[in-house]
Amino acid sequence: MTPRVRIAPSPTGNLHIGTARTALFNFLFARKEGGVFIVRIEDTDKERNKPEYEKNIIDGFNWLGIKYDEFYRQSERIDSHKKWLKKLIDENKAYLSKEEEGGNRDEVIRFRNPNRDISFEDTVRGQVSFNTEELGDFVIARSMDEPLYHFAVVVDDFEMNINHVIRGEDHISNTPRQILIQEAIGAPRPKYSHIPLILAKDRSKMSKRHGAVSINEFKDRGFLPEAMVNYLALLGWHPDDDREIFSMKELVEVFDLSRIQKGGAIFDENKLLWVNKEHIKRMPEEERKKIIIEKIIQSEKSKDREWGSGEDLAGKIEPLISERISKWSEVDELMASGDLDYFFEKPVYGASVLNYKGEQEKSDIIRHLNTVGAILQEQDEKELSAEKVKGFIWSYAEKEGRGAVLWPFRVALSGKDKSPDPFVLAQILGKKETSERIKEAVRKIDAETGRK
């Protein structure tokens, strides 16, 4: 039998990471087994449903690469629900009941509970048993035109030939009601797999108070869809080896329902950041560079810089940024922080910062800077790679003391006590700008000591 599975989100809010993870497990199972994955929007809650939420859910699935084979809206299936409600009433398996609530008297439809034990085999949890007597004759519709969740979901699953239900463990308590309704309408029982909930670090259910919970928020913060899929797959499931980085194709190849765990899956954003960084590393180099360079240029366009900017400079500092970020938004944060301003404008700093550990004679600092400047002046601009700059200067630094030479060299270029090494800075800034900054550093020390 061809596996047919579904995700049935309610459009009462944006796509939650829990719903996305459940959809992913259904999708992976369907693709692995050559089955059909269905999205069914459960939009019968007229008061809370909003079309923008439905759009957000579908857009979220598309962004993640979770592509459905069939699509339905529950609200468009009311005629089927009415047909089965009438059948149950005609067969005395359901009945009209007068209910009084808040001074109003309404007629609802109740299911006639046979009050017996229910057991079902769960792929994740083994055999699960319930005594249904405590459920009583439960309501399955407010009226013939308003079926409630338990009834509508059973009818929809039956008519869509859903034969495997993969959903969160919070639905376990719904299963006995649904099995009773399945039996009443003659529907076959699907296989069940109730997957663990996604929990915060305090082991409570993930909610807004723990930070981002909607897929849209993670997208806006610069996470890659491939990384989100990868990380969500590892929440409550693990492969049969130690691999942690997967493409969607690789997940389809290895996904196995038997490897879903029972315990709650703890959401760890630090782990997500690591997974995202790994996927950024695995991107085609040109694609990664293009995204980062565009972000650098966009940031710089809003600033009035004294010294160069543009695509050429952005391309030179891209490798520095690439190795520091775990998500795209960190490029914007890094540019906004001012930590890299020295690439785009001459640094402002005091002469004292040039003194290594505050223990150098000022004449020695000037001598080292002038020597380094003279060495660089002798080199061809085209030869000024970080490796070659290091090769030119290293023997002198080894002789005079690495810290004593390289500290003021680096500070002269960046104006900071923390920055990339001076060889990288010199390569990015170029021969002319590097020489000017070294001369400016010497002038700062001269001005402080009163030398001419």
Of 358, 377, 361, nearest to 438 by C-alpha is 377
Please, which residues have CB within 8 angstroms of residue 267's CB and are 6 or more apart in sequence? 17, 198, 199, 200, 201, 206, 210, 235
Residue 188 DSSP one-character state:
P
For residue 191, say whether it is annotated as part of any ligand binding site: no
Q: Residue 131 has which token pair?
A: 């005594």
Contact 409, 368 (CB under 8 A): yes
DSSP one-letter string for 37-70 = EEEEE----TTT--HHHHHHHHHHHHHHT---SE
Question: What are the structure tokens assigned to 291, written together?
Answer: 């995204």
CA distance 166 to 36: 13
Cα–Cα–Cα angle for 393, 397, 400, rounded to 5 degrees: 140
- The one-letter amino acid code at 373 reads G
Q: Which residue type sits at 300? A: E
Q: Which residues contact 90 (CB under 8 A, 6 or more apart)?
A: none
List the structure tokens of 420: 């990339």
Determine contact, residues 206/222, Cβ cutoff 8 Å.
no
Q: Please answer whether residues 432 and 379 qualify as being in contact, where contact means their C-beta atoms are separated by less than 8 angstroms.
A: no
| 198-199 vs 265-266, strand pairing mode | parallel
Query: What is the SS3 assignment for 239?
Result: coil
- Residue 153 backbone dihedrals phi, psi, to 5 degrees: -65, -35
| Angle 114-115-119 from CA coordinates, rounded to 5° | 105
Helix (H) or strand (E) holding 109: strand 104-111
Angle of helix 422-449 versus helix 362-377 axis, rounded to 10? 130
Which residues line the annotated binding site for ATP?
Answer: 208
Task: Give the residue ranges of the annotated binding site.
Answer: 208
